[in-house]
Amino acid sequence: MDYSKPSIIEKKWQNLWHSRKLFSASKERKKKFYVLEMFPYPSGNIHMGHLRNYTIGDVIARFFKNNQFNVLHPMGWDSFGMPAENAAVENNLNPQVWTEKNINNMKKQLKSIGLSIDWEREISTCNDKYYKHQQKLFIDLYNAGLVYKKDSYVNWDPVDETVLANEQVIEGKGWRSGAIVEKKKLSQWFLRISKFSKELLNELDKLNQWPDKVRAMQKNWIGVSEGVEIIFNISEKSQKIKVFTTRPETIFGATFIALSVEHEIGSFYDNDSEFTKFKNLCIKDQEKRNSDEKFAFKTGLHVIHPFSKKEIPIFFANYVLMDYGSGAIFGCPAHDRRDYDFALKNNLNIIKVIQDTNSSSLPYCEIKKEDKIINSDFLDNLHPSEAKEKITEVIHKGKTGKKKTDYRLRDWGVSRQRYWGCPIPIIYTEDGKALPVDEKDLPVKLPEDIDFNTSGNPLSSHPTWKSTKCSKTGKRAIRETDTLDTFFDSSWYFLRFCSPVEESIPFKEDDTNYWMPVDHYIGGVEHAILHLLYSRFFSRALKYCNYNVPKEPFKKLVTQGMVCHETFKTADSKWINPNNVFSEKDKKGNINYYTKQNGERTLVFKGRSEKMSKSKKNVVDPDSIISNYGADTARLFMISDSPPERDLEWSIDGIKATYKFLKKIYDHLQKDFLFITELEPTVTSKIKEDETETYNLIQKTIMGYTDDIRDYRFNTAVAKLREMANHALKTKMSKNLSDYCWSIFLRLISVITPHFSDELAAKSGFKEVLINLKWPDLDSSGFDEKIVSIVLQVNGKKKSLVSVPLESSQEDILEIIRKNKNIPSSYYNNSKKIIFVKNRIINFVV
RNA sequence: GCGAGCGUGCUGAAAUUGGUAAACAGACAGGACUUAAAAUCCUGCGGGUGGUAACACCCUUGUGGGUUCAAGUCCCACCGCUCGCACCA
């Protein structure tokens, strides 16, 4: 069979691997290796991003398997979520049916890539065999005090009567109804992620195999600030106001107090229609967040400054957020941009307390070395940083406040008013008490007969599902109709893969002890915060509930870049599919692009390369590439063009060239070949002696390729392999050497092009599939007596190359140089100094 | 505004700890084969100067400085691009 229809060959091998269960994993004495790619949402079809993601993971999985690790490489489906429900509404399809159909199709597509996946461990989060355990975990978290219910503002669509996610609010309107979205206060379930803020932040340092970028993003997200909480007494009332600040040294510059409209002091104004109006205005304003305008509501109340003892006014202000600090600030307009704007607008006092040397204009928000505190009583003349220390101490001693560390990270709201999600296992008794569902009653299953034509959450509109009984009292009770955020589903799925069919418990300690943590985790950088932070939290939370799991679930993280493709637009800014664009050179040699519309030529313009997306009309379907060129071509191209973490530029020319490369080698090896699986030592020593150069090149390639693959430098790994292949194709070799060389080639490249390699290996006498073979041994003995060419420099500039035995000393090399008549003596005769680096350079400074 | 990253041929890119810049590819150009095209194979491919030539020499990693025998790599300043966060007190 020739290589014109690779997909036929590929199908054959996929079936064979599958029937021999080559990828099924079980606990063994061998060292384990758990490689995982982020599991997909079953949207219907895989896209290029998936292809790239899973190819990267598969290369690593196969590489470690060849290197004698016990590899776990599972796959599953993140199968709850909105698109299924939208499909239900739009096309009148049952979400379950829609999802299953998509899973079947995508599974078929994934199989056609030839991934080394243990499909016996497949899980799907919308399956009650999965979410039954998830409900148990929820209850564990609940009992441990890590779950609570509180009122919170959500995006509310008043027409559809449903909560919308932020991304479903387009220009302030509901994406489906077009109604203006309101902020509505709803009672919602929360996970106490903030309990772990400090740990989650500090232990980022331990994740030394994560990209710095992701760690930095998480650090910013958790957002620590060290400061002081100061207590102010209200003159007119008995209440106190707590204020958090990171700049306590500016306390003497405080000229007002600003509160969030949600602050408890607001309860004094519940019956004040002006205040209600103002509050709504602020909430609207915070929805949009597109202006810096400052609004004020004067309370008429005052606080007493703890040091100057002067009265300062209290305001409500739109720019103070309730969920950071204590929802109250002291305004220091001289040294804070926002307070300054607010003070100007409301004609408030501005007191400068930091003297900067350049006497620049206010607000002055920096801290420079030369700065001094002024107008601040006992802090005068101190440097701001000294003043900060002193005032913190004074506040602490005087009991007017305390040192405090605040985090930006907020608790995780997990309630969704949706049908297609995991039901929250809670019931409400008649007196309104929330109780967890009894474990023996799990799973709380979703009802199948559901009507999507009602407004609001279909689950709560269901006629009977809600009503249940309390298992303890037997009295009537109502089920929670909120379902869980799908990020909850993905926060522990990697644990379930360790015990995928276990019925009684979520996962077995034996299994997780052996397989966890995930050694390499591969996915898109878009999950840098949410999914990865939630998973890190979840592991800690489970540990807190006495599950024996590691705190950090992912040892090494690899974030792959996007798959990009060229884009074209017409003069009136319509996107045009690159497939429909033709190019032409004009007389000046410029390239013009045009497309054909209604038989007429229309000029189009090349834009920059962008992430493949339907809206930009630049997507390429992996299925068509695989069926035309083969999975191996697609895999090799995906791997070899750019390093994994960088964006990949899709190019059909690249695909064609990759296919050509494989075909060339396929045809070459087809002609005349008989491989040897293992070289006899006598044969090895003979080719080593007779054909040293090629033999050593092969060894060098094994070494370089192995290191490169291990470190995810796939592009340079492939370059090294191509160098060896090009050399082999144009060099006359003995039969033994040629067999050896190509057998090494096939085995090395098999992690990238497994079908191609197995096909050729089988044809030439390999008895075993390559995945079951040991990675090729390296014979570096030949490197020892090698001649190296070192660089001869004069004043650091390269002049020529000199061949010398490896490890030659400076004296030996000088001797060689002097004898060489092609090297002018002017290079070294007047040298003042010689810099010598063994095996690298010799540099004469003249 | 804060944080992070990046800038190398026409393009994707490569370059251990500072030590031969452009490996390996793509596009393009020329040639061979062919009636022709495709496929395949060969050659060239950062810029400049000198030479008929083989070749020699000089310049070149966003810009400008610096450290060093030696800088794509380290340091300082600037310009440009990308990403994340953002009224976070």
**Strand B contacted by A836 CB (< 7 A):** no
Residue A607 CA distance to nucleotide B7 C1' (Å): 20
Sheet harboring A426-429: ordered strands across?
A434-436, A426-429, A476-479, A467-469
Residue A703 contacts by C-beta under 8 Å, 6 or more apart in sequence?
Answer: A778, A780
Closest nt by CA–C1' to A330: B89
* Average pLDDT along chain A: 88
Closest nt by CA–C1' to A800: B20
**Strand B contacted by A30 CB (< 7 A):** no
Closest nt by CA–C1' to A409: B88
Neighbours of A291 (CB within 10 A): 8
Residue A361 sits at φ, ψ, to 5 deg, of -75, 165
Contacting residues 684-713/A vs strand B (CB within 7 A): 713
Report, as ranges of residue numbers, the positions in chain A whose pLDDT lies below 70. Answer: 1, 160, 164-176, 286-291, 357-360, 585-590, 672-679, 783-786
**Strand B contacted by A286 CB (< 7 A):** yes
**Strand B contacted by A843 CB (< 7 A):** yes
Check residue A541 and give its pLDDT.
96
Q: Which nucleotides of B are covered by protein (CB under 7 A)?
A: 2-5, 11-15, 17, 19-21, 23-27, 39-42, 57-59, 69-71, 83-85, 87-89
Q: Which residue has the tokens 């997306």?
A: A613
Closest nt by CA–C1' to A318: B87
Closest nt by CA–C1' to A643: B13
Under a CB-based contact definition with an 8 Å cutoff, are residues A185 and A289 in contact?
no
Helix axes A631-640, A652-671, angle to 10 degrees: 120
Phi/psi region, residue A412 (left: phi>0; alpha: psi -120 to 50; beta: rest), is beta
**Strand B contacted by A726 CB (< 7 A):** yes
Among candidate residues A453, A417, A458, A511, the one with its CA nearest the CA of residue A164: A417
Residue with minimal CA–C1' distance to B27 is A653
**Strand B contacted by A834 CB (< 7 A):** no
**Strand B contacted by A606 CB (< 7 A):** no
Q: Which residue has the tokens 């899980």?
A: A123
Residue with minimal CA–C1' distance to B82 is A647
Residue A533 CA distance to nucleotide B84 C1' (Å): 15
Q: Chain-centre distance of CA A443, in angstroms? A: 31
Q: How far is CA A111 from CA A141, A639, A763, in A?
A: 37, 18, 23
**Strand B contacted by A841 CB (< 7 A):** yes
Closest nt by CA–C1' to A326: B89
Residue A205 CA distance to nucleotide B8 C1' (Å): 33
Residue A841 CA distance to nucleotide B76 C1' (Å): 30
Contacting residues 617-676/A vs strand B (CB within 7 A): 641-643, 646-649, 651, 653-654, 656-657, 660-661, 663-664
What gap in Å lies between CA A11 and CA A687, rounded to an integer? 37
Helix axes A622-629, A631-640, angle to 10 degrees: 110
Contacting residues 371-430/A vs strand B (CB within 7 A): 406, 408
**Strand B contacted by A294 CB (< 7 A):** yes
State pLDDT tens for residues A185-241.
888 899 999 999 999 999 998 898 999 889 988 998 898 888 899 999 998 888 899
Residue A807 CA distance to nucleotide B72 C1' (Å): 28
**Strand B contacted by A715 CB (< 7 A):** yes
**Strand B contacted by A292 CB (< 7 A):** yes
Q: Locate A651 and state its tokens.
A: 């190019």
Under a CB-based contact definition with an 8 Å cutoff, are residues A639 and A716 in contact?
no
Q: Which residue has the tokens 């932040």?
A: A201
**Strand B contacted by A318 CB (< 7 A):** yes
Apex A202 CA angle, A196 and A206, nearest 5: 115
**Strand B contacted by A568 CB (< 7 A):** no
Phi/psi region, residue A752 (left: phi>0; alpha: psi -120 to 50; beta: rest), is alpha
**Strand B contacted by A719 CB (< 7 A):** yes
Q: Which helix (H) or strand (E) holds A742?
A: helix A735-749
A80-84, Cβ contacts within 8 angstroms, sequence gap of 24 or more: A80/A125, A80/A126, A80/A420, A80/A421, A80/A422, A80/A483, A80/A486, A80/A489, A81/A41, A81/A420, A81/A421, A81/A486, A82/A165, A82/A418, A82/A420, A83/A41, A83/A43, A84/A420
Contacting residues 795-814/A vs strand B (CB within 7 A): 795-799, 801
**Strand B contacted by A244 CB (< 7 A):** yes
Check residue A543 and give its pLDDT.
96
Closest nt by CA–C1' to A640: B25
A541-545, Cβ contacts within 8 angstroms, sequence gap of 24 or more: A541/A141, A541/A144, A541/A146, A541/A191, A541/A196, A542/A137, A542/A140, A542/A492, A542/A495, A544/A144, A544/A146, A545/A137, A545/A140, A545/A141, A545/A143, A545/A144, A545/A146
Neighbours of A390 (CB within 10 A): 16
Residue A638 CA distance to nucleotide B5 C1' (Å): 23
Check residue A677 and give its pLDDT.
61
Check residue A587 and give its pLDDT.
61
Contacting residues 190-219/A vs strand B (CB within 7 A): 212-213, 216-217
Q: How far is CA A455 from CA A177, A461, A480, in A?
A: 11, 8, 18
The three-state secondary structure class of A581 is strand
**Strand B contacted by A324 CB (< 7 A):** yes
Check residue A176 and give its pLDDT.
65
Residue A517 CA distance to nucleotide B64 C1' (Å): 49
Quote the pTM value. 0.92
Residue A621 CA distance to nucleotide B81 C1' (Å): 29
Residue A683 contacts by C-beta under 8 Å, 6 or more apart in sequence?
Answer: A676, A736, A740
Closest nt by CA–C1' to A708: B16
